[in-house]
Amino acid sequence: AQSVTQLGSHVSVSEGALVLLRCNYSSSVPPYLFWYVQYPNQGLQLLLKYTTGATLVKGINGFEAEFKKSETSFHLTKPSAHMSDAAEYFCAVSPGAGGTSYGKLTFGQGTILTVHP
Amino acid sequence: DTAVSQTPKYLVTQMGNDKSIKCEQNLGHDTMYWYKQDSKKFLKIMFSYNNKELIINETVPNRFSPKSPDKAHLNLHINSLELGDSAVYFCASSRRDRGRLETQYFGPGTRLLVL
């Protein structure tokens, strides 16, 4: 079984400020973890993913996330927010190696990021 | 060069009607999915097909019937539409690599409104 909890349904930052979106997961097997971004009236776009190896993963648009097994977390960060980062962000988990790997992605409830000038 | 495409983008229809949503991917993937995003933006998987074989079938009313004519297409047919079916439906695809499924790529979504 797997689940994802995103802390904070809305996060508001000023342009140039640090962005931190929190994600905690639960998985019975080693997980694969993903962050997707959804702009208004558009589909989901992959930001970054963790499968194995380096726990700090870098994605597009300057975002990065760190897999912390001991904390069951995969928080998304960006050092300096840009107005174009305003969107909704979804954290997701799927079974990794050793799991029933039929691509069952489980999503968190999403976090809306607002960036103020 | 759209990777995962869906038609139509918007669908407004009356209760009780039957409608279909089409999905096509040109990524050469062998696995395709349907997700439903409700009004609270909660995303949940509905179905998944691998090489035209149904491999995930979540608790979805049997009014919803997926059909995969080939690896590049996964269509969703909905019978007797209800108000609660109003949502955004996303198609996605991925490939299987050494038994593990890789990143899923999503289509733009179909916004269904049932009146």
What's phi and psi for A85, nearest 5 deg? Answer: -80, -10
Residue A11 to chain B, least CA–CA distance (Å): 16
Q: Is A116 in contact with B46 (CB distance < 8 Å)?
A: no
Q: Does B25 touch chain A (CB under 8 A)?
A: no
* A111 DSSP assignment: E
Q: Is B42 in contact with A107 (CB distance < 8 Å)?
A: yes
pLDDT value, residue A97: 63
Using CA atoms, how far apart are residues B10 and B29, in angstroms rounded to an integer?
Answer: 25
HSE, CB side, 13 Å, CA atoms: give it for residue A46: 18
User: What is chain A's mean pLDDT, rounded?
Assistant: 91
Q: Does A107 touch chain B (CB under 8 A)?
A: yes
First to last CA, chain B: 34
Residue A33 to chain B, least CA–CA distance (Å): 10
With a CB cutoff of 8 Å and minimum separation 6, the contacts of A26 are A1, A2, A3, A4, A72
Tell me the helices (H) and strands (E) count for chain A, helix number first.
0, 11
Model confidence at A99, in pLDDT bands (50, 70, 90)?
Answer: low
Using CA atoms, how far apart are residues A71 and A61, in angstroms rounded to an integer?
Answer: 26
pLDDT digits (tens, 9 = 90+) for A40-79: 878 899 999 998 889 999 999 999 999 999 999 999 999 9
Instruction: Select from A34, A101, A105 the Cβ nearest to the Cβ of B45.
Output: A105
Q: Is A47 in contact with A64 (CB distance < 8 Å)?
A: no
pLDDT digits (tens, 9 = 90+) for A7-34: 999 999 999 999 999 999 998 888 899 9
pLDDT value, residue B42: 86
pLDDT value, residue A50: 93
From first to last of the 115 residues of chain B, give the pLDDT tens digit.
669 999 999 999 999 999 999 999 999 998 999 999 988 888 899 988 888 888 888 878 899 999 999 999 999 999 999 999 999 999 999 987 666 667 889 999 999 999 9
pLDDT value, residue B28: 92
Residue A25 to chain B, least CA–CA distance (Å): 16
pLDDT value, residue B13: 97
- What is the DSSP annotation of B34-74? EEEE-TT--EEEEEEEETTEEEEE-S--TTEEEEEEETTEE
